[in-house]
Each structure stands twice: as structure tokens, then as C-alpha cells.
Amino acid sequence: MKTVKEIEGKKSVQLIKEVVRVKQTVVERPVEYNTMITSTTIAKQIGIDEIGDEAQEVLLLVALNTKNKINAIHKVFSGSLDSSIAHPREIFRSALLNNAARILIYHNHPSGNTDPSIEDYELTDRFFAAGELLGIEVLDHIIVAGNDAISFRENTL
């Protein structure tokens, strides 16, 4: 027979695990970059700093105001070792909640290879189309792998 403390202890552990899981799924924090995004180089570096060392695929949103200053940075989704199934609604929900005029979208490839997959191309098309419908400009979709990054816009991918 288990004691009440044993049961409470297990529930506490489960609760803590769930809180950690939710925190990994959607992370909000104050903006660390007090600068305008003025180049692809700066945009890439933000992605490298934020998700370059993640062990799982992560989808990151940087919400910008009309002057390209960062309003918010959100880890919108964490996936498995080799995939992050994301829908544009998660990205644009965060963008709308942060009054974003423009956004940068990032995801990482933990494999270390920045080459876009067919799914990456399809997702990028969906992001740009959704942004156009909602009146939120998607400035770029950037793939990050370690200390390297590739810009869809810069490479006209």
C-alpha cells in the first residue's frame, strides 16, 4: 500500500515534468536584442544564438515592429531529432499576439546540415502565403545548423 506522501511525490514529479515540457514547447522571454534587423547577417546570427545548439528541431519566431526592431522571440515548437511538425497558425498566433508587422521564422537542423528538405520548401511557401493573407510580412525563413545558417530569401530558395 502506498502512502499519501509517495503518491503526492509522484504527482509532484509528473507535474514538474509537464511544466518543463510545456516550457520547452512555448518559451516567452524578454527581448535580448536591442537592435534593428538591418541585414541577413544579423538575422542569421540571432537564429544561431537562439537555436544553433538545440538537440531537437525547434521552430523559432522573431516578431518585429514596423522599424524592424524585435518585439518578441518565441520558441513556438520543439520536435523530434529530425522533424518539427508545425502549422503556420502557431507562428502567426504568436505574431498577432505580439503586434508584429513583420516576422522572421527559423528552424534548426540538429544534423548539422543546412540543406533544405522538400518539406522545408513547402513550409516556407505556406508561411509566405499565410503572411500575405494576414498582412504580416515574412522577411525570411532561416535554417540553422550549429554555427551555420541559410536564408531562403538571400538564396532565393
Q: Domains in the chain and their CATH numbers?
A: 28-151 (3.40.140.10)
Q: Give the pLDDT band of residue 1 (cuts 50, 70, 90).
A: low
Mean pLDDT, the chain, integer:
83
Nearest to 37 by CA among 73, 69, 74: 69
- How far apart, in Å, are the Cα atoms of 93 and each of 36, 73, 75, 90, 125? 22, 13, 13, 5, 18
- Half-sphere exposure (Cβ direction) of 111: Cα atoms closer than 13 Å: 10
Convert the pLDDT of each residue in 58-115 to its tens digit: 999 999 999 999 999 999 876 655 555 677 888 999 999 999 999 999 999 999 999 9
Indicate if the pLDDT at residue 15 is higher than 80.
no
Q: pTM of the full predicted structure?
A: 0.76
Indicate if the pLDDT at residue 24 is higher than 50.
no
Please report the pLDDT score of residue 35 as a whole number.
72
Q: Is 147 exposed, middle or buried (0-12, 13-18, 19+ CB in 10 A)?
A: exposed
Q: Report CA 65 to chain centroid distance, whole Å.
A: 17
Q: Which residues contact 99 (CB under 8 A, 6 or more apart)?
A: 63, 65, 71
Q: Give the pLDDT band of residue 28 (cuts 50, 70, 90).
A: very low
Q: What percent of the chain has pLDDT over 70?
A: 72
Q: What percent of the chain has pLDDT over 90?
A: 62
Where residue 99 falls (left for φ over 0; alpha for ψ -120 to 50; beta otherwise) is left
